[in-house]
A and B are shown apart, each in its own frame.
Chain A
Amino acid sequence: MIRLENLTKTFGAAGSGITAVDRVSFEVPEGEICVLLGPSGCGKTTTMKMINRLIEPTSGKVFIDGKDVTHIDPIQLRRSIGYVIQQIGLFPNKTVADNICVVPDLLGWDRKKSRTRAAELLEMVGLQPDTFMKRYPKELSGGQQQRVGVLRALAADAPVMLMDEPFGAIDPINREVIQDEFLRMQKTLRKTVIFVSHDLDEAVKMADKIAIFRAGRLEQFASPEHLLSNPATPFIETFLGTDRSLKLLRLVQVADAMLTPADTVRPEDPVAKARDLMEKSGHPAIIMSNGDGRPGGIILASRITGQGSCREAAEPVRATVPVKVDLRSAVALMFTHDMPVIPCVDEDGKLQGVLTYRSIVRSLANSKIAA
């Protein structure tokens, strides 16, 4: 959908100039979000601006849908690409509706059609059209402005969007909310998005592909999982940080890391059975399952004394983790409740498997091999 071929930009005189972007090539398939990531001054914004020709490349080509953008009139090109800038840039002299409809108006859409579209879009992000259409940007909160900024880029329903740190100017809590909102919309809209960011967490969350830049060069182009588990160069390793395994936790679901079928004991089983199972598996604890398939208790190896049934030896389960959440939340639960083994449950609370520290480590190692 979007293909860059040896894209290069040199500022200043040829030969003595500064090369801001150096022979960058990659391809973003239709409907995917590609995050251009890197420290400031690495050429990511320049690369993005060459796509809609706000900056003309020194050499190399950009293809959108197989068409070389240098053959398209830049004004027409830009109207066919959604554009969001970091500072939002809503026009303070225009109402929210007029701001959203900037591109439709430029394209000469029927006014009624474009205003209806604006109302639909506002509804999508939970802003009441009746209230907000006629408001001016200064009457909106930062988060609302940011949303309108994104809606403005969506208004003409362009298949491609360029977003230059679109959620940069907003507090962390609202940023998470807007990111989630955008991902939810993206699921149905399936835009091809080039997204500039310097925030690794944001990139890992938003991206289908991450392009890491350093001093104008593309260092690695990979999916977030691949990037985190197989950084290509020492620079990327440093950039990702020593806690990159923790970031990887975010990308793995409990369902993919839990042990299944899990060893369980029943309340009436003798404690000895639990001890045998734990010795065999090497886990520090085992889940006691009730007759209805729900976790009924947990038996810790260190606490087992002598005889009796499992029912007597079991301690109550302090927490369970839904199979659909990511490993980061699961680990947080395990730490909070000091549970080396945590039962994983489905929506009905039925036991689906167990998560242990070791199973988490193994799944991270697996993703490293697979990627």
Chain B
Amino acid sequence: MSDVSVDKVAGTAPRLALRGGTGRAYKLGRLIPWLVLIAAVGIWWFTGDTPEDILTYQEDIVYLGGQHIALVAYAGGLALITGIPAGMILSRPAFRRSSEIVLQVFNLGSTIPTLAIIALCMTALGIGTMPAVFGLWMATLLPIVRNTYTGLRNVPKMLIEAAQGMGMTPRQIFWRVEFPNALFVIFSGIRTALAICVGTAPLAFLIGAGGLGELIFTGIALDELPMLLAGVIPTALLAVLTDFIVGQLQYWLVPKGINPLR
């Protein structure tokens, strides 16, 4: 998860280098994992009988996939509604001094492997969906908090000064100036966070929360490749789909004037 902070920087960089070509290259780069994925699936599909074997798990895929999506939705949703306000609060002048310490604690927390977090959750909260959601929420939270905080802190001082001088109230400054100008960086955090969330969700199976992890881990245990793939392929597709949806939201919701993609 240490690459989270790298992605945070990647999220801010195009903001600084806002010239025509960057956006297009960025978009092209986003397409590459898709193409690789499609090619990989294609090769599997047409060479051998694995596909039919995978499809025998169709019912399981649908049921466990539903569980998987629910896990991600709960944990991701929870991370959004807690992480964004937390980042906002930490960025306020009153918290300037304590915010770095808090974020250091978060950083430290993020060095603990997610598997360990999930195991700890089980120890503390027992097995089932609730501890799994809690563990995933913990793992998802940091990039959202970090990016919300950084995005808001990086809004140029002069914009705030101008807003103040023109008679905006602190609340108006926040909602009309600071938040919109931090939105691109915040979305980058959400994107990273949800990708982590989808990718980590299979671990939830280990503490009895179901999800596509059930097919993956059982597949590994039984050395059953089609079963393993029945878990892996939908997980991957889910990750790509989530990224695509958040990417589209980022593209259309971030105002054009500060959106390096448009």
Tell whether, in the assembled complex, residue B177 and residue A91 are in contact, meaning their CB atoms are under 8 Å apart: yes
Tell me which residues from 66 to 106 in chain A have a Cβ below 8 Å from any Cβ of chain B. 74-80, 83, 85, 87-95, 102-103, 106
Tell whether, in the assembled complex, residue B167 and residue A89 are in contact, meaning their CB atoms are under 8 Å apart: no
Q: Is A52 an interface residue (CB 8 A)?
A: yes
CB of B175, distance to nearest CB on chain A (Å) = 11
By a CB distance below 8 angstroms, the chain A residues around B165 are 52, 54, 78, 83, 85, 162
By a CB distance below 8 angstroms, the chain B residues around A92 are 159, 181, 257-258
Complex-state Cα separation, A152 to B257, whole angstroms: 17
Q: Is A57 an interface residue (CB 8 A)?
A: no
Closest Cβ neighbor of B165 among chain A residues: A83
Complex-state Cα separation, A52 to B176, whole angstroms: 21
Q: Is B255 an interface residue (CB 8 A)?
A: yes
Tell whether, in the assembled complex, residue A94 and residue B255 are in contact, meaning their CB atoms are under 8 Å apart: yes
How many contacts A-B (CB < 8 Å)? Answer: 73
Closest Cβ neighbor of B15 among chain A residues: A92
Q: Is A137 an interface residue (CB 8 A)?
A: yes
By a CB distance below 8 angstroms, the chain B residues around A136 are 256-257
Tell whether, in the assembled complex, residue B180 and residue A75 are in contact, meaning their CB atoms are under 8 Å apart: no
Complex-state Cα separation, A106 to B173, whole angstroms: 11
Q: Is A138 an interface residue (CB 8 A)?
A: yes
Tell whether, in the assembled complex, residue A103 and residue B181 are in contact, meaning their CB atoms are under 8 Å apart: no
Tell whether, in the assembled complex, residue A75 and residue B162 are in contact, meaning their CB atoms are under 8 Å apart: no
CB of A220, distance to nearest CB on chain B (Å) = 27
Which among A83, A87, A138 is the interface contact of B166 at CB below 8 angstroms?
Answer: A83
By a CB distance below 8 angstroms, the chain A residues around B116 are none
Interface size on A, residues (CB 8 A): 28
Tell whether, in the assembled complex, residue B158 and residue A94 are in contact, meaning their CB atoms are under 8 Å apart: no
CB of B187, distance to nearest CB on chain A (Å) = 13
Tell whether, in the assembled complex, residue B257 and residue A83 are in contact, meaning their CB atoms are under 8 Å apart: no
Interface residue SS majority, chain B? helix
CB of A168, distance to nearest CB on chain B (Å) = 12
Given the contacts A77-B167, A91-B181, A136-B256, A83 and B162 also touching, CB distance less than 8 Å: yes
Tell whether, in the assembled complex, residue B158 and residue A138 are in contact, meaning their CB atoms are under 8 Å apart: no
Tell whether, in the assembled complex, residue A78 and residue B167 are in contact, meaning their CB atoms are under 8 Å apart: yes
CB of B22, distance to nearest CB on chain A (Å) = 13
Q: Is B233 an interface residue (CB 8 A)?
A: no
Tell whether, in the assembled complex, residue A54 and residue B167 are in contact, meaning their CB atoms are under 8 Å apart: no
Closest Cβ neighbor of A107 among chain B residues: B167
Complex-state Cα separation, A369 to B255, whole angstroms: 60
Tell whether, in the assembled complex, residue B172 and residue A106 are in contact, meaning their CB atoms are under 8 Å apart: yes
Interface size on B, residues (CB 8 A): 23
Given the contacts A77-B167, A78-B166, A89 and B158 also touching, CB distance less than 8 Å: yes
By a CB distance below 8 angstroms, the chain B residues around A106 are 166-168, 172
CB of A202, distance to nearest CB on chain B (Å) = 20
Tell whether, in the assembled complex, residue B166 and residue A137 are in contact, meaning their CB atoms are under 8 Å apart: no
Complex-state Cα separation, A212 to B166, whole angstroms: 26
Tell whether, in the assembled complex, residue B158 and residue A87 are in contact, meaning their CB atoms are under 8 Å apart: yes
Q: Is B224 an interface residue (CB 8 A)?
A: no
Complex-state Cα separation, A335 to B168, whole angstroms: 54
Closest Cβ neighbor of A52 among chain B residues: B165
Tell me which residues from 194 to 216 in chain A have a Cβ below 8 Å from any Cβ of chain B. none
Complex-state Cα separation, A103 to B257, whole angstroms: 20
Tell whether, in the assembled complex, residue B164 and residue A78 are in contact, meaning their CB atoms are under 8 Å apart: yes
Complex-state Cα separation, A91 to B180, whole angstroms: 10
Interface residues as binary, A29-61 with B (CB distance below 8 Å gives 1, 0 otherwise): 000000000000000000000001010000000
Tell whether, in the assembled complex, residue B257 and residue A94 are in contact, meaning their CB atoms are under 8 Å apart: yes
Given the contacts A75-B169, A93-B258, A85 and B158 also touching, CB distance less than 8 Å: yes
Complex-state Cα separation, A102 to B167, whole angstroms: 9
Q: Is B18 an interface residue (CB 8 A)?
A: yes
Tell whether, in the assembled complex, residue B166 and residue A93 are in contact, meaning their CB atoms are under 8 Å apart: no
Q: Is B161 an interface residue (CB 8 A)?
A: yes
Which among B18, B159, B167 is the interface contact of A138 at CB below 8 angstroms?
Answer: B18
Tell whether, in the assembled complex, residue B256 and residue A75 are in contact, meaning their CB atoms are under 8 Å apart: no
Which among A77, A89, A103 is the interface contact of B159 at CB below 8 angstroms?
Answer: A89
Which among A76, A137, A152 is the interface contact of B167 at CB below 8 angstroms?
Answer: A76
Tell whether, in the assembled complex, residue A79 and residue B158 are in contact, meaning their CB atoms are under 8 Å apart: no
CB of A170, distance to nearest CB on chain B (Å) = 15
By a CB distance below 8 angstroms, the chain B residues around A79 are 166-167
By a CB distance below 8 angstroms, the chain B residues around A83 are 162, 165-166
Complex-state Cα separation, A138 to B19, whole angstroms: 10
Closest Cβ neighbor of A74 among chain B residues: B167
CB of B186, distance to nearest CB on chain A (Å) = 13
Tell me which residues from 2 to 36 in chain B have a Cβ below 8 Å from any Cβ of chain A. 18
Tell whether, in the assembled complex, residue B168 and residue A93 are in contact, meaning their CB atoms are under 8 Å apart: no
Closest Cβ neighbor of B169 among chain A residues: A75
Tell whether, in the assembled complex, residue A137 and residue B257 are in contact, meaning their CB atoms are under 8 Å apart: yes
Closest Cβ neighbor of B160 among chain A residues: A89
By a CB distance below 8 angstroms, the chain A residues around B181 are 91-93
Closest Cβ neighbor of B176 among chain A residues: A91
Complex-state Cα separation, A7 to B161, whole angstroms: 22
CB of B158, distance to nearest CB on chain A (Å) = 4
By a CB distance below 8 angstroms, the chain A residues around B159 are 89, 91-92
By a CB distance below 8 angstroms, the chain B residues around A91 are 159, 162-163, 176-177, 181, 257
Tell whether, in the assembled complex, residue B162 and residue A89 are in contact, meaning their CB atoms are under 8 Å apart: yes
CB of A4, distance to nearest CB on chain B (Å) = 18
CB of A69, distance to nearest CB on chain B (Å) = 13
Q: 5 additional contacts, CB 8 Å, given A91-B163, A138-B18?
A: A78-B165, A78-B166, A93-B183, A106-B172, A152-B166
Binding site for A on B (CB under 8 A): 18, 156, 158-159, 161-169, 172, 176-177, 180-181, 183, 255-258
6 A-B pairs, CB-CB below 8 angstroms? Answer: A52-B165, A87-B156, A87-B158, A89-B161, A92-B159, A92-B257
Shortest Cβ-Cβ A-B pairs, 6 listed: A89-B162, A136-B257, A78-B167, A79-B167, A83-B165, A87-B158
